[in-house]
Amino acid sequence: MRCPHCGNFDDKVIESRTLANGEAIRRRRECSDCGYRFTSYERIEDKPFMVIKRDGRREPFDREKIERGVQRALEKRPISQMSIEQLVNEIEDAAAIKGKGTHEIVSDVIGDLVLEKLGSIDKVAYIRFASVYRHFEGIEEFIKEIQNMGGNS
């Protein structure tokens, strides 16, 4: 690997660490020529996982998009960042399992996964996310959703 500091191609690996449940390897390297230390990442090249939108368009799966939605729903709620990270990991894993055969998943399935996970940790965040995801336009829809939640608790 080429040193980003001096351009030399001779380095040694100091440390390797598995990341993302075995999906990637992080390697700390040291240039044999100048001693500069840098990090490289190794991932399996795979077919892109695609999301089928409501209008039929396809776009690459974006974990960060899910994370932003979950963060917004949980804003000012007593949920730790570690719990949010775990929740997003679970959603990503469940989506990958559901779309395994075709490398595609319908966006509504992802939305339902998010709602299911949010409902299990924070009811307020569930309602916040549902109101955007299901395009609530009036108080009646909030009331109906809250009543539906009452039967699931």
Phi, psi of 23 (to 5 degrees): -85, -15
- Tell me which residue of 78, 81, 82, 149 sits closest to 120, measured CA to CA: 149
State the Cα–Cα distance between residues 94 and 116, nearest whole angstrom: 11
Q: Does 118 have pLDDT greater than 80?
A: yes
- Residues with Cβ within 8 Å of residue 42, at least 6 apart in sequence: 24, 25, 27
Mean pLDDT (the chain, rounded): 90
Whether the predicted pLDDT of 24 surpasses 80: yes
Using CA atoms, how far apart are residues 153 and 144, in angstroms rounded to an integer?
Answer: 15
Which of 22-26, 30-34, 145-149 shows the highest mean pLDDT? 30-34
pLDDT digits (tens, 9 = 90+) for 66-116: 999 999 999 999 999 999 999 999 999 999 899 888 899 999 999 999 999
- Residue 151 pLDDT exceeds 60: no
CB 96 within 8 A of CB 49: yes
Domain regions of the chain by residue span:
11-43, 50-152
pTM value surpassing 0.85: no
